[in-house]
Structure 1
Amino acid sequence: MHGAADDRRAEALADGSRLAARLFDALAGGTADPPGVTRAAYGAGECAAFALMAEAAGDLGGDPVFDPAGNQFLTFRGADRGRTVYVGSHLDSVPHGGNFDGAAGVILGLAAAAALTRLGTVPAFDLCVLCLRAEESCWFPHSYIGSKTALGCLPPDVLDAVVRSDTGRSLAGHMRDLGFDPEAVRRGASRIDRARTVAYLEPHIEQGPVLVAEGRPLGLVTGIRGSFRFREAAFHGAYAHSGATPRTLRRDAVVAASEFVMAMQALWERMERDGHDLAVTFGMIGTDPAQHSFSKVAGEARLCIDVRSQSEATLEEVRRRLVETGLDVAARRDVRLELGPLGGSTPAVMAPRLLAQMRAAAATAGIAPIEMASGAGHDAATFANAGVPTGMLFIRNRNGSHNPDEAMDMGDFDAALALVVALLEQPAEHWG
């Protein structure tokens, strides 16, 4: 039987859900860029999203503050003002992307604050809803800029070395444009005191099909894959006439690139059979539009290489074998391989104690999530690798991510909200 307490909880969660629905609608309308949304890092769309979240937090009694990099901290008072639980994610998007990637985590934090306020519950510690910048590395080619700046661990050279893809201007310049302080970022300034941080929790839509296939609304993330990336790789051969140049005399960059791609695909299949966690992707491949022609042997083929795994040892082995394979193909095809700059991220393991708390919160909320690894990278990896107890919660999402067709159902969001509220209601001794 349902009692008055159950009714109050249902009403409180409904309050949070209604706030979330309004914020999602306002966010979609305010950052629309058909066929999807665009919230460029340190751009107008991202700033509009930050302003929307700050206004919602203010209405709930939250205190919005920026750090030197422009990350936004929306703080709600807890019983212990000296320690903080962070809930959040990023608010930028890919060009013409979906409305839920990243934003769902920030909005869920605000919805949880609204539900706790309606319940009259003061959490054990301050609750800070964290709005991070520049997670999508399509804008600035460096992983996890927002979380690294929030924690004061962004390599200083990144501020000047990376430029935004659509403007050609540096990260430092974009920070200054918005009134932030890249010199403080360069010094490692941070608002986050790791010693006083209880946990960082990142709710996020799943960006793959696992929860849909399993018929489950939520997933508890056990770990996040790391990666290495060559964004500017290219095979260089020689342009030649397609009819006049015999096969044995060609230096065909496209043939070399194709052989390389298939060799890496075969390596992936072998390593997967041997039990390695691995994903190998060539997300961009092409010839030079200024030079290519239907009647020319291609003298250049460019590739973008993305390799991911939960295992650092696997990443290192694949990187070594990738280089060996590429050089072997280049030698046999009489072309030259340039891999270009190497980037990437470190695998991360979610905190076992926080994972156990999330299991307990799910049971309290009557939810049965599955446990799964994240194939995609997230800011949570930065927090975990910085020694902050970190957890991630996936929300079911149809049609994948980084596209306008992201389809998170509000019923699944409500299940995540119930779990997070139950987690934040846990007493201080449960957090350690």
Structure 2
Amino acid sequence: MNATYNRFDAAKTAARLFDDVAAFSADSAGVSRPAFSAVETQTLKYLEDYARAQGLSVQYDAGQNAVFSLPEDANADRFILVGSHVDSVPNGGNFDGLAGVIAGLLCLARAKSQGIGFAKPVKVIAMRAEESAWFGPCYIASKALLGQLDDSELSAVHKGDGRDLGTHMSEIGINMNRVRQHKPLMDPDNIDCYIELHIEQGPLLIEKNMPAAVVSGIRGNVRHKKIRCIGEAGHSGAVPRAYRKDPVLAMADLLSRLDESWLTILQKGEDLVLTSGMVGTDPEKHALTRIPDLVDFSLDFRSQSADALDAMRDLLQQEVRSVERERGVKFELDAELHTAPALCDEKMVDGLSASMAKVNLKPFTMPSGGGHDAAVFANAGIPSAMVFVRNRNGSHNPEEAMEIPDLIAGTDIIFSYLTEMAQ
């Protein structure tokens, strides 16, 4: 067939796919596609309908993720896996995750329309449940695929309905016996390598005026979904400072100490970010004139260095004990959630960089501050790499502003790699 590739038509197709998914997953602000929800299932079905209309093969794996391919590659024993996730955070943006799936589908549709094959068989996966916002654990689909979901993660409860992760997974048809036995739902030996396109979640490509980049590595993280600081309630005007056991000020003291250590680590040239994104006293008790008896908060620190993560974990324990002694409070930490840092495969990074040059883009590599499914694949020993696409206003918010021509540029990089460089 060898039809001429039309970038304008590809851009129109991508824009339509994004708009349609945004329409049925719209929330009061942005979009909400909860992990293992009906909306997430609807998204997969919509992408399935598009793929079938393009003459592509569609299958569902044991994790109930949608897997797309050229018909001749549907039963390939070994393949390059391209993809990302379709769930979003609550009131999030429409491009985080979904852009990587659509980029993969565009690569398949382009190959199909032009009547050409890839250097190696390619399958595109649309994964469920990457975001930690719904249950706490992150990368649920990719961990399940590789047999890495642990028991504590399976018992994590949904932020909305309070039911555990295992129940939600079972209800959509996942064989939980294999998951609970930590057996892979997809044979890792079948995966030649993994490639993921994702919007950049920071400002670097905007500042450099570059449409895309190849990712060199992905930060790991240590997270606590809920740390509780327990103090002693009292009247805001009647209890002198010396007699107070104020959990809010104790929390602030702890976070301030961690912030100072963060700065010290950065001044030493090491990589680290630290965030407390959820903070709250008991809404049934809190009041303007009341010293609260407890406060709950989250903690998330990330680094490309495993040593830096270990150091922050130790520092957290030391500072918790110190603040407890000095302020007369007690901290209760929930189970730690941990993902190791991951380096992208050097040969793949070089190949994707060469593909950037081949499609007339200046090669550029950068690290990823956010975590991605690619880290799970990489740490399982599967060669993995990523392409970032320029995006304004960060991610995990309704203001995500990836431009379609930039997505096409990132897709061109991957298509060039799949058809020529992957060999």
Distance, in Å, in 2 between the alignment partners of 1:58 and 1:121 is 18
The aligned counterpart of 2:259 is: 265
1:315-394 alignment to 2 at 5 Å? 315-394=309-388
1:178-327 alignment to 2 at 5 Å? 178-190=172-184, 192-327=186-321
1:107 aligned to which of 102, 126, 135: 102
Q: Offset of 1:10 from its aligned partner?
A: 4.2
Q: Offset of 1:157 from its aligned partner?
A: 5.3
Distance, in Å, in 1 between the alignment partners of 2:40 and 2:128 is 8
Identity in percent: 38
Matched positions, count: 421
The aligned counterpart of 1:91 is: 86
Match for 1:45: what amino acid? Answer: V
1:414 aligned to which of 380, 405, 408: 408
Q: Mark the CA change 1:229 to 1:158 in structure 2 (over 3 Å): closer, same or farther.
A: closer
Secondary structure of the residue aligned to 1:129 is strand
Secondary structure of the residue aligned to 1:22 is helix
The aligned counterpart of 1:16 is: 10
Q: CA contact under 8 A between 2:63 and 2:185: conserved in structure 1?
A: no
Secondary structure of the residue aligned to 1:269 is helix
Q: CA contact under 8 A between 1:78 and 1:122: conserved in structure 2?
A: no
Q: CA contact under 8 A between 1:68 and 1:184: conserved in structure 2?
A: no
The aligned counterpart of 1:130 is: 125
Distance, in Å, in 2 between the alignment partners of 1:298 and 1:212 is 43
Structure 1, unaligned runs of 5 or more: none
Distance, in Å, in 2 between the alignment partners of 1:242 and 1:195 is 62
2:27 aligned to which of 33, 53, 57: 33
Match for 2:102: what amino acid? Answer: I
Q: Mark the CA change 1:193 to 1:243 in structure 2 (over 3 Å): closer, same or farther.
A: closer
Distance, in Å, in 2 between the alignment partners of 1:356 and 1:330 is 50
Q: CA contact under 8 A between 2:93 and 2:399: conserved in structure 1?
A: yes
Is structure 2 residue 395 aligned with structure 1 residue 401?
Answer: yes
Q: CA contact under 8 A between 1:235 and 1:330: conserved in structure 2?
A: no
TM-score relative to the length of structure 1: 0.93
Q: CA contact under 8 A between 1:202 and 1:391: conserved in structure 2?
A: yes
Secondary structure of the residue aligned to 1:36 is coil
The aligned counterpart of 1:64 is: 58
Distance, in Å, in 2 between the alignment partners of 1:195 and 1:337 is 44
Match for 2:298: what amino acid? Answer: C
Distance, in Å, in 1 between the alignment partners of 2:408 and 2:367 is 22
Q: Offset of 1:398 from its aligned partner?
A: 0.6
The aligned counterpart of 1:165 is: 159
Q: Offset of 1:387 from its aligned partner?
A: 0.8
Match for 1:206: what amino acid? Answer: E
Q: Offset of 1:181 from its aligned partner?
A: 2.2
Distance, in Å, in 2 between the alignment partners of 1:69 and 1:164 is 18
Q: Mark the CA change 1:9 to 1:65 in structure 2 (over 3 Å): closer, same or farther.
A: same
Distance, in Å, in 2 between the alignment partners of 1:151 and 1:330 is 40
Secondary structure of the residue aligned to 1:400 is coil
Deviations 1:243-290 (A, max 9, x none): 221111111111111111111111100110011100011112222222
Q: CA contact under 8 A between 2:103 and 2:197: conserved in structure 1?
A: yes
Q: Offset of 1:392 from its aligned partner?
A: 0.5
Distance, in Å, in 2 between the alignment partners of 1:369 and 1:280 is 30
Q: CA contact under 8 A between 2:51 and 2:58: conserved in structure 1?
A: yes
The aligned counterpart of 2:141 is: 146
Distance, in Å, in 1 between the alignment partners of 2:144 and 2:116 is 32
The aligned counterpart of 2:112 is: 117
Q: Mark the CA change 1:245 to 1:34 in structure 2 (over 3 Å): closer, same or farther.
A: closer
Q: CA contact under 8 A between 1:17 and 1:111: conserved in structure 2?
A: no
Secondary structure of the residue aligned to 1:307 is strand
TM-score relative to the length of structure 2: 0.95
Q: CA contact under 8 A between 1:362 and 1:419: conserved in structure 2?
A: yes
Q: CA contact under 8 A between 1:134 and 1:140: conserved in structure 2?
A: no
Structure 2, unaligned runs of 5 or more: none
Q: Mark the CA change 1:9 to 1:358 in structure 2 (over 3 Å): closer, same or farther.
A: farther
Q: CA contact under 8 A between 1:81 and 1:125: conserved in structure 2?
A: no
Deviations 1:215-259 (A, max 9, x none): 111121111101111221122111111222111111111111111
Deviations 1:74-118 (A, max 9, x none): 122359944211110000011111110100000000111111122
Deviations 1:198-220 (A, max 9, x none): 21100001111111112111121
Distance, in Å, in 2 between the alignment partners of 1:168 and 1:401 is 26
Q: CA contact under 8 A between 1:285 and 1:303: conserved in structure 2?
A: yes
Match for 2:180: what amino acid? Answer: R
